[in-house]
Structure 1
Amino acid sequence: MQRATGRGAASAAPRSVDVARLAGVSQKTVSRVFNDEQYVSAEVRRRVLQAAEELGYRRNNAARALASGRTRAIGVVTLGTALFGPASLLMGVERAVRDTGYALRVVNTVEGDPAGVAGAVGSLLDQGVDGIVISEPIDERGGGDDVRLRVDVPVLVLSAPSPVVAPSVLTAGHGADRMAWAATEHLLRLGHVTVHHLAGPQRWYAARDRLEGWRTALRAHGRAVPPVVEGDWSAASGYAAGRALAADGDVTAVFAANDDMAIGLIRALTEAGLRVPEDISVVGFDDIPVAAFVIPPLTTVAQPFDAVAQDGLRRLVHVIENPDAPPLPESDPPVDLVVRASTAGPSTRRNPSR
């Protein structure tokens, strides 16, 4: 199919000078628009982008890399998993990188491989990247020595401590403890004496942060901190925990560290003859798509995956392109508690002990 641009099908690919001519601006202005530089009016930017679209113009990133010393590529190290949280964060990063105009290179790690991050970072550096995003949610060191990698490009670390030493190390995605606090406080404000916690596996930084937020909220309100039940993120582990919690007459409210475990928990409570929320209230974490359609619809905390990725990538690109400028400040992720029908005030039927 031929574009109606007046250029023959056999003609050369459009160049920036062609875009400049069609838009009625200088070639330097075209460069400024595609480099997302300041001091270009909205109207001029619109004309340039419209002309580029009409001509089918694409930036020659290889030539730009030679001229600038940059590859226009960002590498991502991520755990290879289908779990909702890490997979959703990776999708958010992919969308955010595309919005920056950089190419994306992804290397997956495998759970249980202590050398996985180092190997992935080395692979990306060998390919040539201007910056690296590390989304590695598991502590593979098991609390060992703090031996960190040395990297010569800026690094953005998502929702975890930094495993690297780099010219600039940025962080994003922290705040799971505040979200867990909000979930716990929601149940306390409904009148529950305390809140039990179904935690995720403690090798995961997210599980630790959520447990800490739950514990801190209980202590801040002067409430007893019950023993923690640990699952493995799966609905099956939530079901197993639910069978044990159903037998404890003191349990009136449970905060689960993810929605899958919360759904398994509810199934076990229901099979034990308990009603949710009349007998036991349940709050999850993540707001997975099915959470609104289970019975009862699940109260949960929605994670701001896209907002975290966009804020982090914006700051990473700023450091890459302005290495001598101060880094941009990190934005606090919002706390979005989605209240549905799985939570209510405590029932007198179970008579929890004081």
Structure 2
Amino acid sequence: MSSETQGAGEAAARRSAGDGAGRQPGMTDVARLAGVSAQTVSRTLAGHPHVRHRTRAKVLAAVEQLGYRKNNAARTLSSGRSRTIGVVTLRTTSSSRTNLTFGIETAAREAGYAVSAATTASLDTAAIEGALSRLAEQGVEGVVLSVPLVHVSPRIEQLTRSVPTVTVDGSRTPATEVVAVDQTHVARLATRHLIDLGHETVWHVSGPEEWLDAAGRRTGWRATLESAGRPVPPVLEGDWTPASGYRNGLILGNIPDATAVFVASDEMAFGVIRALHELGRRVPEDVSVVGVDDIALAEYCSPSLTTVAQPFAEMGALAVAHLMRHIADPAAAPEAASVEPALIVRASTAPLGGRARP
């Protein structure tokens, strides 16, 4: 497209977007200004992976210039409000993520709001942009972001400014509010418990490096060992699945001096315990194991799992309460809130060389 043609298109888009009393710019206005088709605009805003980088940049620049926000749901209501909030979450079968979403849905329903979920297959920035865009297009009044922001792009920042947003894992943009559990404290509770039982050191099976929860737990585990003057073993990295816990359990089970392990999730801890059993290492007589989350199955593991409970229902309710405040007053300064974890001692931990507490 020539610069003359593009300039004419920009002028036409601005005239069209300004036609009528208070008319909001539409997708065709964005397409005209960017010099692309409306289908390309739709694919870009949906986070489609096959949109060229240059085209994507032109569309997003036009979106910002025109202040475009597709909001069909809100326009169908005479009040101009959708009474719906959105949740962005990772596509996963993880019990902890499911429990958090359930807590958000319960609190939203009690506040008179419906919940629309947008899942992402990865933590890729474009995938998160697409999920946020889909929710904005639905006209949600606010968003709970339940995935870590590995990178805050201009588009994510623009979306979280235009739609009130609360995060629940410690991520933030300048416009978001944060409701989170202090993951370094989670790790201190678990690691200190094992040290107090007489174990010389504590091994760690971590979650994926890009997750802020996992990073916080690694930091807290390491700091607790160092402050106690204990050796710090190498980190064994998992991916939140029982299978990754099992693989790392096979490693731990072949290290005679490994008598205590802090595992970054209950589901990975189940895998660790199975591997230890298969190798003839008794839990807790030979190896004590602590998990994180206190999901429903933790109490029924064999042996029952000592874990650090994260209050998902409370986190969900607090996130929704913050979001309601943010929706009512979008200009208010973002606030942070912390939810306290709790150590739940069960049969998978015991004093070094001893037996579990009854």
TM-score (norm 1): 0.73
RMSD: 2.5
Q: Does 1:94 align with 2:100?
A: no
Q: How does 1:279-318 map to 2 (within 5 A)?
A: 279-318=286-325
Change (3 A) 1:161 1:264: same
Pick aligned residue for 2:132 from 114, 121, 125: 121
C-alpha contact 1:311 1:330 (8 A) present in aligned 2: no
Q: Tell whether 2:242 aligns with 1:232.
A: no
Residue pairs, 1:213-292, within 5 angstroms: 213-292=220-299
Q: Secondary structure at the match of 1:156?
A: strand
For 2:332 and 2:246, the matched residues in 1 are separated by 52
User: Is structure 2 residue 202 aligned with structure 1 residue 202?
Assistant: no
> Structure 1 pair 116/86, CA: closer, same or farther in 2 (3 Å)?
same
1:240: Cα distance to partner? 1.8
Q: 1:206 to 1:324 in 2, by over 3 A?
A: closer
1:323 Cα offset (Å) = 3.9
Deviation of 1:103 after TM superposition, in Å, equals 2.5
In structure 2, the gaps of 5 or more residues are: 1-72
The Cα shift of 1:271 comes to 2.1
C-alpha distance in 2, partners of 1:115/1:137? 13
Distance (Å, rounded) in 1 between the aligned partners of 2:267 and 2:326: 38
The one of 203, 212, 218 equivalent to 2:219 is: 212
Count matched residues. 280
Aligned twin of 1:149: 157
Please state how far the C-alpha of 1:101 moved relative to its aligned partner.
1.0
Aligned-pair distance for 1:314? 0.6
Taking the aligned partners of 1:261 and 1:326, their CA distance within structure 2 comes to: 38
Is the CA contact 1:303–1:336 (under 8 Å) kept in the aligned structure 2?
yes
Residues 70/196 of structure 1: CA separation in 2 closer, same or farther (3 Å cut)? same
In the other structure, the counterpart of 1:58 is none
Q: Are positions 1:344 and 2:356 aligned together?
A: no
Tell whether the 8 Å contact from 1:312 to 1:330 is kept in structure 2 after alignment: no
Any idea what the Cα deviations from partners look like across 1:101-157, whole Å, max 9, x if unmatched? 122222111126431111111122122122111111473x5xx98874312121101
Q: Distance in 2 between matches of 1:79 and 1:132?
A: 14
Aligned to 1:66: 78
Same amino acid, percent of matched pairs: 43
Change in Cα spacing, 1:63 to 1:77, as seen in structure 2 (3 Å) is closer
Do the aligned partners of 2:307 and 2:344 also contact (CA within 8 Å) in 1? yes
TM-score of the pair, normalised by structure 2:
0.72
Structure-2 residue corresponding to 1:321:
328
SS in 2 for 1:149: helix
| Other structure's SS at 1:193 match | coil
Cα deviation per residue 1:226-250 (whole Å; 9 max; x = unaligned)? 1011122222222221222122122
